Amino acid sequence: MNAQTFVGSCHCGHIRFEAEIDMDAGTGKCNCTICTKLRFWGAVVKPDAFRLTAGREALIDYRFNSESVHHPFCRYCGVHAFGHGNIPEIGGEYYSINLSCLDNASFTELVDAPMRYYDGRNNNWFNPPSTETRHL
């Protein structure tokens, strides 16, 4: 594991966090309805690798469908900097870090990270979508 400490924030800076992310472990984009609309590009980490350092009071929690995943966003600027939940199929409790919210990741680190695509729209999470993915 090649984890590195990254810091991140929402657009207005109310929400700030640190996360230990191993970019070599891969990143992902999903075609489910919320990830598509947000164009969320994530890296999954265990809860002990995530620290919210500021802004808990600025977070609004959004959940839908099964309500098993939290999609918090900043009440001031609306940015979704991370999500979290508990899904046994992916190893239990997790945080998904929005890589676009990392403040100290270089463009090279981001584009060099392996990318996976997930077919969340069809609940076929462990396979890539059979349709186009360039828009994700």
State residue 126's pLDDT score. Answer: 83
pLDDT digits (tens, 9 = 90+) for 5-44: 999 999 999 999 999 999 999 999 999 999 999 999 999 9
Share of the chain above pLDDT 70, in %: 100
Q: What percent of the chain has pLDDT over 90?
A: 79
The verdict on domain 4-122 having CATH code 2.170.150.70 is: yes
Is 53:129 a contact under the CB 8 Å cutoff? no
